Amino acid sequence: MTISVAIIGSGPSAFYTADALAKSGADCTIDLIERLPAPFGLIRYGVAPDHETTRKVSRAFDKTARGDKVAFFGNTEVGRDVSLAELRQAYDAVVLAVGAPNDRPLGIPGSDKKGVYGSAAFVGWYNGHPDFRALNPDLNVKAAAVVGVGNVALDVARLLVRAKPELEATDMAQHAVDAIAASPVTDVYLLGRRGAQFAAFTIGELREMGELEGASIVIDAATLPTSFDDVPEDDRRIQQKMVEMLRGFADLPKDRPKRVHFRFNTSPKEVLGGDRVEGLRVEKMRTENGRAVGTGETEDIPLGLVVAAIGYRSPRIEGGHFDEQKGLYPNDGGLVEPGLYAVGWAMRGPSGVIGTSKIDGQTVAKHIVEAGAGSGQAGKPGRAALEKLLAARKARRTTYADWDKIDAAEIARARPGAPRLKFPSVEEMLAALGR
Ligand code: NAP
């Protein structure tokens, strides 16, 4: 009997699950249900525009999407066009592959001021995500802080100091290229609340910071740790390598027009200013047994923009068992409850690189196939039922053939030398389809 599977989302974890199911040999249909008209989620809207190579993984996803078992339901929002309960009724298995697109709040006094953004919003804005088209951050500032010392923080800091021609060669949204190129920003502060031995960067991404043409790195080598005893043994070697790289940055020339300041053991305490950000009060910390402990010593850094790159949360979907505190769907190896699964960041929280969710997809695909074969979770109508429902609701679903058209139109409108220029709104994507 055919196993019908609905996967909510079309980012990496969704595609890895679809691919694993398609290759499992099981008799199944796989429907990818995506809120936006275009597929690929994090690959399209999360990966930094100057990391085009990382986006190449979408070629493999494209092959999966064209497989005969797979269908794409774009512009189809769970909660608007169809409910989770309806999907669970129609499909043998439903997979939550919704990622973690929401910001964790900074939650310090003043963090509601104009000029404070979460990285999901800020990254979405420069990446042309329709949800953040209107963010319109005021970049008429000389200095900015990026809170957090993970790879997203590096992406934001790097893009803020890139020169116009560098940005123009990417698929960055035109509104963001214009705003960043016009910004007088010269100094970006990257703030890590613990010591550098706990920085969450990966080596390749950190190395890139030392190679920026337009920005020098400012780091006080005396603040870098020499002992790594407090770092878990498995991470020690790589963290040591990272700190050595940071130490090397201290010796790089300081002659570039812009600066990225790495500040560790520095925690934001209060956003200063009136309506708008005028500064950030930070507290000097010390790291004890892997934890940041306040020293009471504060400093006010004058700046006009704060981007908090401190992690993400999954969206809560009505009817899915959601852990509000952790911001994910509690599960046992991907199994949320019989017939309902979670993969990727919805399953584990926002950690790991893109390929990490491959293993989640394989695990959950195996569960689904076993449940279908074993306890008879198979035989529900799946696709036919969803198509009927959407037609009755006059939903404006996009298919993968529609995506091909949007894709071609975006490539055709790219700036010279750039891979594409995304349509930054749902309306413009649908207009490219003549709707
Ligand atoms: P992340 O790696 O978890 O880093 C989050 C950072 O925020 C950490 O430094 C964390 O410090 C800090 N933080 C959390 N809460 C804070 C608070 N209240 N105040 C101050 N600092 C706080 O998260 P991410 O950068 O969002 O990245 C998410 C995942 O995507 C990661 O696995 C990352 O490697 C991956 N990614 C990869 C790439 C790439 O490969 N090029 C690009 C982007 C993202 P503590 O450690 O002290 O908690």
φ and ψ at 423, to 5 degrees? -75, 125
pLDDT tens digits, 2-22 = 999 999 999 999 999 999 999
pLDDT tens digits, 385-430 = 999 999 999 999 999 999 999 999 999 999 999 999 999 999 999 9
Residue 333, pLDDT > 80, answer yes
CATH of the domain at 161: 3.50.50.60
Determine the distance separating the centroid of ligand 1 and the alpha carbon of 153, expressed in angstroms: 7
Q: Whose CA is nearest to atom 6 of ligand 1?
A: 148
- The β-bridge partners of 190 are 146, 262
* pLDDT confidence bin for 106, thresholds 50/70/90: very high
Task: Describe the crossing of helices 356-373 and 12-23 by its angle, rounded to 10 degrees.
Answer: 40
Please give the tally of structural domains in the chain: 2
> Do residues 383 and 290 share a domain?
no
Residue 208, pLDDT > 90, answer yes
pLDDT tens digits, 142-165 = 999 999 999 999 999 999 999 999
Instruction: Tell me which of 312, 335, 356 is where a domain ends.
Output: 312
> Do residues 141 and 168 share a domain?
yes
User: 118, 105 in Cβ contact below 8 A?
Assistant: yes
**Residue 49 near ligand 1, beta carbon < 6 Å:** no
**Residue 263 near ligand 1, beta carbon < 6 Å:** no
Instruction: Tell me which of 312, 343, 367 is where a domain ends.
Output: 312
- Contacts of residue 121, defined as CB under 8 A and 6 or more positions apart, other chains included, come to 103, 132, 135
**Residue 29 near ligand 1, beta carbon < 6 Å:** no
> Do residues 335 and 249 share a domain?
no
Residue 373, pLDDT > 90, answer no
- The pLDDT, as a whole number, for residue 72 is 98
Buried residues in 53-86 as b, exposed as e (16+ CB within 10 A): eebebbeebbebbeeebbbbbbbbebeebbebeb
Residue 378, pLDDT > 80, answer no
Q: Whose CA is nearest to atom 3 of ligand 1?
A: 311
- The pLDDT, as a whole number, for residue 376 is 65
Residue 377, pLDDT > 80, answer no
Mean pLDDT of the region 284-291: 96
Residue 114 domain boundaries: 103-312
CATH of the domain at 367: 3.40.50.720
pLDDT tens digits, 299-326 = 999 999 999 999 999 999 999 899 999 9
- The pLDDT, as a whole number, for residue 1 is 87
- The pLDDT, as a whole number, for residue 375 is 65
% of the chain surpassing 70 pLDDT:
100
pLDDT tens digits, 424-433 = 999 999 999 9
Instruction: Tell me which of 312, 347, 382 is where a domain ends.
Output: 312
Determine the distance separating the centroid of ligand 1 and the alpha carbon of 178, expressed in angstroms: 27
Q: Whose CA is nearest to atom 16 of ligand 1?
A: 310
* pLDDT confidence bin for 332, thresholds 50/70/90: very high
> Do residues 112 and 85 share a domain?
no
> Do residues 401 and 373 share a domain?
yes
- The pLDDT, as a whole number, for residue 372 is 86
Supply the pTM of this predicted model: 0.97
User: 152, 309 in Cβ contact below 8 A?
Assistant: yes
pLDDT tens digits, 69-90 = 999 999 999 999 999 999 999 9
Residue 61, pLDDT > 80, answer yes
